[in-house]
Structure 1
């Protein structure tokens, strides 16, 4: 459900402000991934979603995004093939920026207009302040994707004990860019900032008030009418200040860079769908 809101509503807004063009790609696992035992409870999916994704695709609801499908099964770590194909899609398109989004997350980052300046030569941006890299949503550069793609391609080497978040962190060279945490929300069971159905419902109502009721199909009856999150603006300001304190802005000499193609990816739905977008330069930064 959230990938639909991203492609239909968030992506067009980001396209308006980004200093380049954006092309969307969806990487979709067309069969429910097999798992070795109880791999992760967060991998449990609703069987009805498979049919819904098929119907919505035929209806053109994901129009504006290229759809790439696969049937690769990797029971010891089911999501790795989709991560790998999303990374490869970014590299094939020579993407300068690659926004990764999992299927239980939604990002509408209008600050993408400043990414070329803010990132400079830094190669990874995060929306959450964890020691590891939160795989739900983060932004990478081409140099980083080129470094991790080979490891992601070795499917058999991935197990539950080898966390992809740790792999992402260990692959990083240099400091991170801390992005505005309020731009990325997630329907996750843990009580992290900007995480949970209320935050998702608030963002969806702001993006698509006439279609917010669709959230009830995935999150349950009444999800679209959850109370607003009153402290989100204050948390946004605090998060931005924290990001600045941790070095979110690159040094001055790193700022004058030209925006090359950018890619946004988005993993979607129980069959493991992922979407992506590529931007080509429109202006020098």
Structure 2
């Protein structure tokens, strides 16, 4: 078996069996498919030809995008018309058509076949992959169990936003003010929420560090967290002298912060003692405030 890649000649490619063609952008895929279409219509290619000429209704061309589909349909239609004119004139300046003309024994018969194909091009099966699948499901609705009329959605972004907005309306609007404030600090609205979770809606699995229990609600988790915070505050208040001493002990975070404020030029108090750094002051206010969390 020869695994070496070969350059593709669209007029000599065997049209029976299976063929794998590798092509990047701008390498002539549309040109090649349109040329193969002409060969199949006229049964050209010598020993590499299809056993018999095919009609438009027997040919299926499938591509990826709607834009590529329209381009391909237009190119095939144009090629059929131009080759038909070349057959009638028995001459052409186009190198592709010239090579095809050399293989056509009865050019008048070929012109008739091409005229018939040109008239059938409005019914040509040139589809996107998803468009062809939808067509097959519609034509075989009973066998496939599909609806007769259904719309194929190519862009799900609007549906994802609608689902996110519906979730926001159902679950965030009724929240108590304190919980809503916590949510609002993270996400200003459904659009912001969607930006953070969109990758999960498209298949990526999230890593949940503390998954909720079956009966847990957002309100119950919020209350549980507040209870934990208040418990920590109470433990601090119960041991306030000991903890304050630890903050002011040599090598502690409190002393290190005070040292940093000296470097940055913090002000002295009226009694000549340096004020506590802002971080420690905020921490102590948080400890003494029943509402701050």
TM-score calculated relative to the size of structure 1 = 0.21
Which of the pair has the greater relative contact order for Cα pairs under 8 Å at 6+ separation?
Answer: 1
- Name whichever structure is richer in helix by fraction: 2
Look at both structures and tell me which one has the larger radius of gyration over its CA atoms: 2
Structure having the higher strand fraction is 1
